[in-house]
Amino acid sequence: MKPAAFEYHAPGSAEETAALLTELGEEAKVLAGGQSLVPMLALRLAAFGHLVDLRRVDELRGIEHRDGTVRIGATTTQSTVQRSEEIGRLVPLLAYATPLIGHFQIRNRGTIGGSLAHADAAAEYPAVALTLDAELEALSVRGRRTIPAGHFFTGTWTTALAEDELLTAVVLPVWRGPCGFAVEEFARRSGDFALAGATVAVGLGPDGRIDRCAVGLFGLGPAPRRARTVETEVLGTEPDQDKADEIGDLATADLDSIPSDLHGSAAYRRRVGAAMVARAWRRAVREAVHG
């Protein structure tokens, strides 16, 4: 199939893009890497009167380390993130998640901002952003604002971005000291969206006990979420890999709105999610303790 007719726009700056979004209103859709949007248009699952292509907006690309954070421009490709030694050193959780996204052809075109703005509940980048308490920068004709990841993902394919706002960058904190990270997911085939997945970050204090922990879940509801009960429970405890199964069960015990479809029932996804948390916990703790 072919997409419905639309008018094509290729602005040269972020400000020009924001002005276009204001002028065109709800009929406009931003095109970043197009790895989600283009198939939806081709299948006529979505239709827009105007597509605003960001490929000429160079200021939205790039990786910058500053003030204990890493700022990544929204149209930076996933393959660029994957190849970045700086990302691997400073934001390991993002580096671990990136190879799990689709296939290398998709990562060559797909962008970090496109994935975050698309907000698929089974996608890796939204879960990473939420787990690391990232901040997302947005631009409109009204000015710039920063949205915490905890408030950004609002539901199935929906975010806190207004219709006239452009996602310009994501800012991720750099964890210092002994810490470990892991991403685990289960998919029917390599490169598919996960039926269930988990992201874990663990930091150790001077006494060797856990003084910082974040556990993210994806594919288990309409949006990624944090397992806050687990995070609170493990603070101040020894980093024990033997508690992994218990932690996995606790992380998924109070989940609601778990999807149930032909790929798996809600009960099945809950069990898989618990297993993914347990696996990720073991890996993250091992990395935190042994480096």
Q: 266, 258 in Cβ contact below 8 A? A: yes
- Distance (Å, rounded) from C-alpha 284 to C-alpha 175? 13
C-alpha torsion sign, points 209, 196, 250, 259: positive
Pairing type for strands 50-53 and 7-9 reads parallel
Phi, psi of 287 (to 5 degrees): -65, -40
How many of the other CB atoms lie within 10 Å of CB of 228?
12
Is the pTM higher than 0.75? The answer reads yes
pLDDT tens per residue across span 154-196: 999 999 999 999 999 999 999 999 999 999 999 988 878 899 9
- The correct answer on CATH 3.30.390.50 for the domain covering 179-290 is yes
What b/e string do you get for 141-161 counting C-beta neighbours within 10 Å, with b at 16 or more?
eeeeeebebeebbeeeeebbb
Give domain limits for the chain: 7-51, 63-173, 179-290
- Distance (Å, rounded) from C-alpha 168 to C-alpha 181? 26
pLDDT tens per residue across span 189-243: 887 889 999 999 999 999 999 999 999 999 999 999 999 999 999 999 999 999 9
Identify the CATH number of the domain defined by range 63-173.
Answer: 3.30.465.10
- Distance (Å, rounded) from C-alpha 278 to C-alpha 249? 8
Tell which CATH classification among 3.20.20.140, 3.40.50.2300, 3.30.43.10, 3.40.50.720 matches the domain 7-51: 3.30.43.10
DSSP state of 130: H
